[in-house]
Amino acid sequence: MPQPMGLAIRPIDSSGRRDAILEALTLYIVQSNLQPGDQLPPERELMAGLKVGRSSIREVIGHLQALGIVEIRRGSGTYLKRALSEKTVFMPLSIATQRDGLLQTLEVRRGLEIEASMLAAKRASADDIAKMRTALEVMEAEHLEKGTAGQADLLFHLSIYRASGNPLFEQLLGQMRAAFESFFAQPFNRPDFARDSFEFHRMLFDAIARHDPKAARAHTIAILEIVENDIVRMSNEQQS
């Protein structure tokens, strides 16, 4: 899609350089009404508009790519993958090895996931529950067909985060998952990763649909415990 005309990229202040570039670029994307799939301005235009060097631009674009917000297509340019708003939180993630990074991220996710599920059980509207049910059915169909449901599983959990009524859950947890996007396509090259958690997703949905926070908490914990056990078990098997 061609870039909108008449909108200027604002120069940044010299202090807090990366954060300032992120803020200015986000403001430009929002005001330009760029949508997922739209192309961002080329490096040269960003450098001129923000009055920063090429290395600063590449650092920020690389950061956005790591968060799953943009996609860099070699020979073509940089494209928006996820919608942004002025309230988007950019959480820097420093990931160690695959196993350690996954386990560290899971420790942080656990509290957020549990709270999001409990809030969804308290706050979910009829529309939220309908969208959650659709996402669950897609996930179940993919699981039955392929034995795994990476992207469909993510979409189901995103529907829970949205139902919590707090957009920070979707942003923070979505960014954590995006950091491991390639991993979740086929974890450890094993289609049976976290397979035992599959049945708990329907239980989690049912708990949220009947507005039962206590049950939603229990089923979320069960899902995450299975994920953690499989990370440890399968990484050990790879090393042996």
Last residue within a domain, chosen from 52, 80, 108: 80
The pLDDT tens digits of the residues spanning 170-206 come to 878 776 766 565 566 566 677 777 788 889 999 999 9
Task: Based on the fold, state whether residues 117 and 37 are members of the same structural domain.
Answer: no
Residue 32 located in a structural domain: yes
CATH number of the domain residue 47 falls in: 1.10.10.10
Please indicate, yes or no, whether residues 59 and 174 belong to a single structural domain of this protein.
Answer: no
Report pLDDT for 15: 43
Taking alpha carbons only, the member of 198, 118, 199 closest to residue 164 is 118
Q: Encoding tokens for residue 35? A: 């949508």
Largest CA distance in the chain: 59
Tokens in use for 167? 């957009």
Assigned domain for 195 exists: yes
- For the stretch 89-118, pLDDT in tens is 565 555 445 677 778 888 888 999 999 999
| CA 112 – CA 212 distance, rounded (Å) | 17
Contacts of 174 (CB under 8 A, 6+ apart): 68, 82, 158, 161
Count of structural domains, the chain: 2
Tell me which H or E stretch contains 193: none
User: Which of the 8 DSSP states describes residue 187?
Assistant: G
Residue 113 located in a structural domain: yes
Domain containing 28: what range? 17-80
What does the pLDDT read at residue 171?
A: 77
Q: Which of 203, 211, 206 is nearest to 119 (CA)?
A: 211
Within this chain, do residues 137 and 235 fall inside the same structural domain, yes or no? Answer: yes
* pLDDT tens per residue across all 240 residues of the chain: 545 444 666 655 544 467 788 888 888 888 888 898 999 999 899 888 888 888 888 888 877 876 668 888 888 899 998 877 766 656 555 544 567 777 888 888 899 999 999 999 999 999 999 999 999 999 899 888 877 666 788 889 989 999 999 988 887 877 676 656 556 656 667 777 778 888 999 999 999 999 999 999 999 999 999 989 988 888 888 776
Whether 3 is covered by a domain: the verdict is no
pLDDT at 58: 86
Residues 105 and 75 in one domain: no
Write down the pLDDT at residue 8.
60
pLDDT of residue 90: 60
CATH assignment at residue 160: 1.20.120.530
pLDDT for 1 equals 52
pLDDT given at position 177: 67
User: Quick one: 30 and 106 in the same domain?
Assistant: no
What is the model's pLDDT at position 151? 73
Residue 93 belongs to a domain:
no
